[in-house]
Amino acid sequence: MLINEIFRSIQGETSFTGLPFVFVRLTGCNLRCSYCDTQYAYDEGNEMPISSIIDKIDSFGLKSVCVTGGEPLSNHNTPVLVRELLNRNYTVLVETNGSYDVSVLPEGTIRILDVKCPDSGMSHKMCWHNISHLTKKDEVKFVLSSRNDYEWARSMISKYHLTEIAHILMNPVYGMIQPSLIASWILEDHINVRLQLQMHKYIWGPETRGV
């Protein structure tokens, strides 16, 4: 597998925010979001066999792993890696951009499905059939750049009854929109979603890699 980086850090997003995790960042992504903060993962990486990846993960002494990218499902071996980790009793999150079929992930995976909003420039790439594969343990993330993105996300939440299916996250693009605005909209509209702020960027800064 082509791996960009493997590191230990504090989980900055999802409902697991604040907890220590091992992050496995795969190389390659089929999308080009306007706000992408991991462009270095488009091409940079080194080939590693799954056994070596697991050895590296084991070395950190944690039992929680986040498989991210890039886009992890662009690699056909990702479900194999995830299954091996689950068999070793790891908690495994897979962050995916929603353009690939998430049903290939083994039972027990916690899917973090990123639904691309209009300002990303990639909302037309979403595979909406993925919604049918989600469970209550999974999470749906909307990354917001504007009020327009928020209103679109709200309409998708209503259309697909997402709050009945999975945990819903709203994430402002760092430095582009004030979190207080999104907080006020959520409260005004009485929607059952979680506002998240990419904690790792507030701790180490937005340009720091390997955190």
Which residues are part of a known binding site for substrate? Answer: 10-12, 25, 68
Backbone angles phi, psi at 6, to 5 degrees: -130, 125
Binding annotation for Mg(2+): 38
Binding annotation for [4Fe-4S] cluster: 29, 33, 36
> Contact, 171 vs 37, CB < 8 A?
no
Binding annotation for S-adenosyl-L-methionine: 35-37, 70
Binding annotation: 10-12, 25, 29, 33, 35-38, 68, 70
